[in-house]
Structure 1
Amino acid sequence: MSLRFIYGRSGSGKTYYCLQEIKERLQHSPEHALVLLVPEQYTFQAERELMAITAQGGLWEAEVLSFRRLAFKVFNQAGGLAYPHLQAAGKCMLIYKVLQGLKEQLPFFSKSAERQGFVTTISTLLTEFKRYNISPQELIVAGDALTDELLKVKLAELAAIYKEYQDLLSESYRDLDDDLTLAAVKMENTDLFLNAEIWIDGFSGFTPQEYSLIAQLGRRAKRINISLCTDSLLESEEREATDVFASVKECWRRLNRLAAEEGLEIEKPVCLNQAEPLPRFKESVELSHLEKYFFEYPHKVYSLPTKDIALFSAVNIFAEIEAAARDIIRLCRDQGLRYRDITLITGDLANYGRLIEVIFKEFNIPYFLDSKIEITQNPLIRLILAMLDIFIDNWSYEAVFRYLKTGLAGVEKQ
């Protein structure tokens, strides 16, 4: 049972290294399980990359999991799947009930309880408490140690809300935020991941819930490989406040403490920073220089002419997007790129998205906008729901016209 770190800067090939190791293990028909543990939003992409690199059969003998999917496997074997989960909407309803029931005991929060968004804020706060294994009693203890009376009252009221929420929840439901904590306990009663080799990739840090699961995996797995995005692994806790990798190095230190507590052997780490430029930037010295020195101080000036990086100053958002559209047309027309080879990144999709739709249509640029669309906005879904409402509401005026307005009813507008 051992722990090994694979580290390197962004673009150094950490994911590729993990996938190559899995490929090598698969070629020798391993008797133990091979698991790639990645963030929830990355599971599909990781499965595609694993399939591509291992040709055929990659997902038959190796498994891609997120922490939530791992918890599901534990519940599937140890029990717990049948217990009803409380979804986000139900959680907000339960919190509202708690706030109404404790109104007389909440002199500070009672005034805010009716404000729009307050219930959602409390819901988010309770999620954070659970992720970091903070109990109502710990909030009370923390409040008692404070000299700030206002903050002490706030913590006491939050503890009361949290405790009442937990009491009501335990009567009939289970919170999704409790799954990882419960899975860490239930895993002890299963034979999952015994002598397995596990690669944990794509994380910049872990919550206490996830550390608990890693500890459980460490007790039963043959080896755990954890990739970290950092320039080095420092043994000293003294570090510059400006170090962009400070949080990752703190994660590394905590994992070392966890390994010591669990009696895990720490193997020699694998450093992927030796290549210059790094594999991701081997086609562009400019991007490699930018990645290396963007957060460095003092930074090193790139003295050569640039051809891969350009800056454009626009008078407004409209002109900015138009310039991007013209450049996309130029790249596809003159350099043979395809539209699917180009990505446009913005930090404000809400404002930029509407203009992108208009301008890209003018330039005849096909595009996919990565924004969430409510399923109820789909005409087919609206049609089905309207049909059901027609029968439920006994052919009410509103339901019939919702059905007709979908445009899929086969009735002309005239």
Structure 2
Amino acid sequence: MSMGRHGGLRMAVRFVLGRSGTGKSRYCLGRIVRALRSGGDEPLVLLVPEQATYQAERAILTSGGIRAYSRLHVLSFNRLAFFLLKGRPARMELSAAARAMVVARLLRGLTDRLEVFRDVSRPGLAAHLAAIIEELQHETHEAATLRDVAETLVKERAAPTTCGKFRDLARLLEAYDAYMEGSRPQWADPAAELTAAAAHVKHAPFLQGARLWVDGFSGFTGQELATLAELLSVSASAEIALCLDPDQIDLDEPTEPTGETARLFAAGERTYARLLEIVRKRRLPLAASLVLHRARRFREAPGLARLEAQIPHDRMGGPLRIDGAVELVKAHDARAEVRFVAERIIAMVREGRCRWRDIAVIVSDVEAYRHYLRAAFGNAGIPYFIDRPMPLAEHVLAQGAAMCLRLATGGWSTPEVLAYLKTPLSVLSAEQADAVEQYALAFGVQGEEWTQEAPWRWAQAEAAAF
């Protein structure tokens, strides 16, 4: 323990280390639940990836004895940035297309100074460079860093084109930063929001003296590392869970794995080395790491436990007995593959071996399998949820609101009306919407006829068929 900046006792930073399934998340959630049950007014913060916030909240509320909480914040980095910056004036957010347009404009202005990227008319150049700028922002690289890299490459006699690219990127990044600085009152750059939020950590009341848990991350961007460093500096205590094999590294003096020495848990090892360096540079108190060895996740499947323990290439021996825990099935195509999975899921549920919610289907490419999954699971009556980012334009509420606006401004065109009637926001059932569509197309309903108060009485004899 040591004295914190606010005068109270400060607990240490502690790493929770172990391979997959050893209980790191269970440990963190258990500590949080005990802290909630014990009472007190100290803030509690759980930092997890964006897609894991709901799962973590649900796990805490279903752990028994916790029906609600007010002092626990389950946050992702995006949500944390939102809370830290919510007092600022509202601004328009720069989209990917807008970023590419800004870069294209800057390229035209820098043509005389560029060495490699002079051909502004090249298709896709602006969008590609905009993506590079976004990545540089995420890693907190500045124009000066790129110039230093270019100078190093020149000294090492690298290809002139390569050196020129780095100098061009430095000029472009510098111009982009200057442009966004001048546009700050109107536009917000999402790629720079987390960097701006990090400066507000020390002023946020809900973070001062908080107990912090970090779980579910295999690595961090430069922005996230900088923000996490600020969080560690103001927290009363912190526990950081990382997935790695503790027996494969030196926990006191870890080194970042390189391409030649990279192992299965290289990402976790690299993250551990970087975080340990941050803790020591900031002179934060460091407790002995909690090392978890026992794979609790596979207690009922010893074959999988043996497989998990021997997956790293440097441990592989001869054939491994896994007692039928893994089955390899060859399918002719993706459609047949998904149908087989659907049949196997139905059989497992009917036999009472598990419930729908206990089953996960993992694919290499969600977009490639999405339509097959929807068709097979829909036909089989399997309730499912596809975990993929959904554009706002695909959301039912957004689609309905957009259609209402188009109807109000577009003169009630028949295609727009029929499209709206088929959305879940319509009061009509699917069968009723189909009947209205057939009637409207048969009798040419148009424009203001959709809003007239008098009922339609065209060809009543034929209308009876509808």
1:219 match: 233
- Supply the distance in 1 between the matched residues of 2:390 and 2:228 (Cα, whole angstroms): 35
- Supply the distance in 1 between the matched residues of 2:339 and 2:241 (Cα, whole angstroms): 40
- Supply the distance in 1 between the matched residues of 2:82 and 2:379 (Cα, whole angstroms): 47
Q: Which moved more, 1:128-137 or 1:315-324?
A: 315-324
- Supply the distance in 1 between the matched residues of 2:387 and 2:227 (Cα, whole angstroms): 32
Counterpart selection for 1:120 from 124, 127, 133? 127
Superposed, 1:379-390 pairs within 5 Å as 381-382=398-399, 384-390=401-407
Q: Decide whether aligned partners of structure 1 residues 381 and 223 sit closer, same or farther in structure 2, where only a CA change above 3 A counts.
A: closer
Q: Is the aligned partner of 1:63 residue 2:77? A: no
Task: State the secondary structure of the residue aligned to 1:6.
Answer: strand
Counterpart selection for 1:98 from 94, 99, 106? 106
- Supply the distance in 2 between the matched residues of 1:33 and 1:362 (Cα, whole angstroms): 48
Contact 2:60 2:66 in 1 (8 A): no
The residue identity in structure 1 corresponding to 2:98 is: G
1:158 match: 169
- Supply the distance in 2 between the matched residues of 1:368 and 1:174 (Cα, whole angstroms): 32
Counterpart selection for 1:306 from 291, 298, 323? 323
Contact 1:33 1:62 in 2 (8 A): yes
Superposed, 1:29-44 pairs within 5 Å as 29-44=39-54
Contact 1:390 1:400 in 2 (8 A): no
After TM superposition, give the deviation of residue 223 of structure 1 in Å: 1.0
- Supply the distance in 1 between the matched residues of 2:352 and 2:59 (Cα, whole angstroms): 28
1:267 match: 287
After TM superposition, give the deviation of residue 38 of structure 1 in Å: 1.0
The residue identity in structure 1 corresponding to 2:181 is: S
Structure 2 regions of 5+ residues with no counterpart? 1-9, 427-432, 443-466
Q: Decide whether aligned partners of structure 1 residues 133 and 370 sit closer, same or farther in structure 2, where only a CA change above 3 A counts.
A: closer
Q: Decide whether aligned partners of structure 1 residues 365 and 303 sit closer, same or farther in structure 2, where only a CA change above 3 A counts.
A: same
1:139 match: 146
Structure 1 regions of 5+ residues with no counterpart? none
The residue identity in structure 1 corresponding to 2:290 is: V
The residue identity in structure 2 corresponding to 1:180 is: L
* Cα offsets for 1:153-181 (capped at 9, x unmatched): 11122222222222221122331222222
* Cα offsets for 1:289-321 (capped at 9, x unmatched): 121112232414465462322111233333333
Q: Decide whether aligned partners of structure 1 residues 66 and 107 sit closer, same or farther in structure 2, where only a CA change above 3 A counts.
A: same
Q: Decide whether aligned partners of structure 1 residues 5 and 85 sit closer, same or farther in structure 2, where only a CA change above 3 A counts.
A: same
Superposed, 1:198-217 pairs within 5 Å as 198-217=212-231
TM-score computed with the length of structure 2 as normaliser? 0.78
Contact 2:106 2:175 in 1 (8 A): yes
- Supply the distance in 1 between the matched residues of 2:400 and 2:273 (Cα, whole angstroms): 55
Q: Is the aligned partner of 1:171 residue 2:182? A: yes
After TM superposition, give the deviation of residue 137 of structure 1 in Å: 2.3
Contact 1:50 1:59 in 2 (8 A): no
Q: How many residues align?
A: 405
Contact 2:44 2:73 in 1 (8 A): yes
After TM superposition, give the deviation of residue 182 of structure 1 in Å: 1.7
1:402 match: 416
After TM superposition, give the deviation of residue 135 of structure 1 in Å: 0.9
The residue identity in structure 2 corresponding to 1:65 is: L
Task: State the secondary structure of the residue aligned to 2:70.
Answer: helix
- Supply the distance in 2 between the matched residues of 1:291 and 1:305 (Cα, whole angstroms): 10
* Cα offsets for 1:215-246 (capped at 9, x unmatched): 22222211111111112052344667142122
The answer to which structure, 1 or 2, has the higher relative contact order (CA under 8 A, 6+ apart) is 1
1:316 match: 333
Q: Decide whether aligned partners of structure 1 residues 167 and 244 sit closer, same or farther in structure 2, where only a CA change above 3 A counts.
A: same
- Supply the distance in 2 between the matched residues of 1:314 and 1:114 (Cα, whole angstroms): 43
Q: Decide whether aligned partners of structure 1 residues 211 and 366 sit closer, same or farther in structure 2, where only a CA change above 3 A counts.
A: closer
The residue identity in structure 2 corresponding to 1:75 is: L
2:268 match: 248
Q: Decide whether aligned partners of structure 1 residues 364 and 401 sit closer, same or farther in structure 2, where only a CA change above 3 A counts.
A: closer
The residue identity in structure 2 corresponding to 1:97 is: R
Q: Which moved more, 1:20-29 or 1:94-103?
A: 94-103
1:47 match: 57
- Supply the distance in 2 between the matched residues of 1:339 and 1:191 (Cα, whole angstroms): 42
Q: Decide whether aligned partners of structure 1 residues 400 and 328 sit closer, same or farther in structure 2, where only a CA change above 3 A counts.
A: same
Contact 2:14 2:289 in 1 (8 A): yes
TM-score computed with the length of structure 1 as normaliser? 0.87
The residue identity in structure 1 corresponding to 2:95 is: Q
- Supply the distance in 1 between the matched residues of 2:134 and 2:111 (Cα, whole angstroms): 22
Q: Decide whether aligned partners of structure 1 residues 125 and 297 sit closer, same or farther in structure 2, where only a CA change above 3 A counts.
A: same
After TM superposition, give the deviation of residue 355 of structure 1 in Å: 3.0
The residue identity in structure 1 corresponding to 2:79 is: R
Q: Decide whether aligned partners of structure 1 residues 286 and 302 sit closer, same or farther in structure 2, where only a CA change above 3 A counts.
A: farther
Task: State the secondary structure of the residue aligned to 1:243.
Answer: coil
- Supply the distance in 2 between the matched residues of 1:380 and 1:194 (Cα, whole angstroms): 38
Q: Which moved more, 1:262-271 or 1:359-368?
A: 359-368
The residue identity in structure 1 corresponding to 2:49 is: P
After TM superposition, give the deviation of residue 18 of structure 1 in Å: 0.7
- Supply the distance in 2 between the matched residues of 1:338 and 1:204 (Cα, whole angstroms): 29
After TM superposition, give the deviation of residue 207 of structure 1 in Å: 2.1
* Cα offsets for 1:8-49 (capped at 9, x unmatched): 111111111111111222222123211111112211211111
Q: Decide whether aligned partners of structure 1 residues 311 and 112 sit closer, same or farther in structure 2, where only a CA change above 3 A counts.
A: farther
